[in-house]
Each structure stands twice: as structure tokens, then as C-alpha cells.
Amino acid sequence: MSTTEPTSDGHLLGAADIRALAEAFGVKPTKQRGQNFVIDGNTVRRIVRAAEVTEQDAVVEVGPGLGSLTLALLEVARHVTAVEIDPVLARHLPDTVKGRMPGRADNFDLVLSDAMDVTELPGPEPTALVANLPYNVAVPVLLHMLETFPSIERTLVMVQSEVADRLAAKPGNKVYGVPSVKANWYADVKRAGAIGRNVFWPAPNVDSGLVSLIRRDPPATTATRREVFAVVDAAFAQRRKTLRAALAGWAGSPAAAEEALRGAGIDHTLRGEMLTVEQFAAIAEHKPKTPEQ
């Protein structure tokens, strides 16, 4: 039997299917690309349910691997576009889709690319992003996709549990930081569940978590996203320092930083971990002008 044909368990990929496909394609999961393939059909269906994907959705998936989540998405979504950096995996995935879900093959597109380089996608505009993101690039990929494709209304990503905590953290939480603030620029963010290690092959040495992001308008501000993010980066580059000290380099001096904070109505003795994205935007608006400006 071909490794792309359904088994008696249906068209989703189980542990034996994943291993058979990997062997047939000569694929050996690499830590460098964070390749841990989901081997449990119940898990990928759970992810699709948590993402609230419907037949109206055009979904973009980053890092489809051997196609576990891809097939579950195609059960429900109107269209799925997968972005894969690995040329071997990318070459074989369309055949896996055709072999296991022939009736849905026309609703699938594949892009061979690093997700960080993707600026356009084939097919309909994506309305949802659903992905098992490699742990080492999860945050930059997520932020890039949200910035590049404003049509994405809902996002559900599986990431390392620690990363999930950081993304969903609120001001005052000890893990609240740059990912938390920048994700909140685009969306309302919350944890959406935990995923055990035994649903992956190979099993990772860390736990995973689901994060839900629902698109909302960015804060109302005259500052640009880049200007706001520059404040965020500066505040957390020296997160143990007060904002007056941490923002001195950004503003030009400690006194200039205090002036910006005063204009934004923020206590200069606070630390960045106490501020909302709206407060960072207010600081950006009040950056003092330098003489050459």
C-alpha cells in the first residue's frame, strides 16, 4: 500500500503513518528546524476546534511537516495554504493530501519558503492562522504573519509551554515581556490549553501549549507600530531598571525619558513589565524631539 493512502483509521495520520511517510521520504526530524510531528488525530482535531475553523475560513498553516494538522484543517476549512521551509517535506505534502483526501486536493496550496520571507499567498486571503510552530522561531513568525496579513482574524498556535505563557501574560506577571506586548498590539491573547509530549514524534523534552489570538484594532495612537515597538524593546532590554533609566538610550538621556513618561502620564519609577501596550504607545507619542528633528 502507498504511504499516502488512508489506513483503516481514516485519512488522518497516526503514529505508524507518520513513521512510514518519514521513512519513505528519507526524512529525519531535526532539532535545527524544530521538527516534532504530531502523531495523534484527536490532537489535531482538538486544535482545529479550538481555532474555531469553519467552512468559511481560508487558513494559512506554517510548518505543516508531514501533514498531520493540514489534513485535519482540510476536513473543515474552505481552503488551506501551507508554508513549508523544508524542500523535501514541501515536495511530498501535496501528494499526501491527494492520496488521503482526493476530494479536497483542489482546496490546498503549498508555498516553499521561510515563513519570515512570505509577503503574499496563493488562493483566497487568509482569515485564520493555525500552526504547530517550531519553538525556536515561534514568536517572530507569529508577529510577522499578523503584520503581513491583516485579513487574519483568528490565530491558534501550538508553541512551547513557556512561550505560550509569555505570549498570554498580562502586565505585572513575571513572564510578561516583549512577546506579550507586541502580540497585544494585534490581538486579544489567551492560553487555550496544554498539549502533552506523547502526541509528538519524536517526543520533545518540553511541554507545549495552545495560544489563541483574536484580531482587534491596534491602540489608537499617532505613533507608528515601529515607534511603539522601539519603546517596548528598549524598556525590556533592561527590564530590571526603572523606565527612566531603561528608556534613556531611546529618548536621548534619562531626563528626556522622564519628560516622555511625564507627557504620557506614567510614573518614571515603574518598570516596563507593569505597562500595557496602550501605555507604551502613549510614551512613543511623547518622545522628545532632538535638535536635528
**Alpha-carbon distance 169 to 224, whole Å?**
23
- The CATH number of residue 273's host domain is 1.10.8.100
Backbone angles phi, psi at 195, to 5 degrees: -125, 130
193 is in an annotated binding site: no
Same domain, 179 and 44: yes
Residue ending a domain, among 163, 192, 215, is 215
Which amino acid, 62? V
Same domain, 59 and 151: yes
Q: Is the pLDDT of residue 5 over 90?
A: no
Termini Cα distance of the chain = 70
The answer to whether residue 240 sits within a structural domain is yes
What mean pLDDT comes out for the span 42-58?
Answer: 96
- For residue range 122-181, list pLDDT tens digits in order: 999 999 999 999 878 999 999 999 999 999 999 999 999 999 999 999 999 999 999 999
The answer to whether residue 292 sits within a structural domain is no
The answer to whether residue 33 sits within a structural domain is yes
Phi-psi region of 26 (alpha: psi -120 to 50; beta: other; left: phi over 0): left
Structural domain total, the chain: 2
Higher pLDDT, 4 or 108: 108
Closest CA to 156 of 29, 49, 239: 49
Same domain, 78 and 190: yes
Same domain, 190 and 234: no
- For residue range 222-276, list pLDDT tens digits in order: 999 999 999 999 999 998 999 999 999 999 999 999 999 999 999 999 999 999 9
292 is in an annotated binding site: no
Residue 88: burial class (beta carbons within 10 Å; 0-12, 13-18, 19+): exposed
Pairing of the two strands 208-215 and 154-160: antiparallel
The answer to whether residue 3 sits within a structural domain is no
Domain limits for position 63: 15-215
Same domain, 79 and 135: yes
Q: Are 131 and 104 in contact (CB under 8 A)?
A: no
**Alpha-carbon distance 53 to 80, whole Å?**
11
The answer to whether residue 10 sits within a structural domain is no
198 is in an annotated binding site: no
The answer to whether residue 200 sits within a structural domain is yes
**Alpha-carbon distance 16 to 25, whole Å?**
14
36 is in an annotated binding site: yes
63 is in an annotated binding site: yes
The helix or strand, by DSSP H or E, that contains position 18, with its residue range, turns out to be helix 15-25
Same domain, 168 and 229: no
- The CATH number of residue 166's host domain is 3.40.50.150
- For residue range 175-222, list pLDDT tens digits in order: 999 999 999 999 999 999 999 999 998 888 889 999 999 999 999 999
84 is in an annotated binding site: yes
Give the pLDDT of residue 293. Answer: 47
Same domain, 273 and 148: no
The answer to whether residue 186 sits within a structural domain is yes
Contacts of 263-269 with CB under 8 Å at 24 or more apart are 267/243, 268/242, 268/243, 268/244, 269/242, 269/243, 269/244
Q: How many CB atoms lie under 10 A from the CB of residue 163?
A: 23
**Alpha-carbon distance 228 to 13, whole Å?**
43
Same domain, 188 and 43: yes
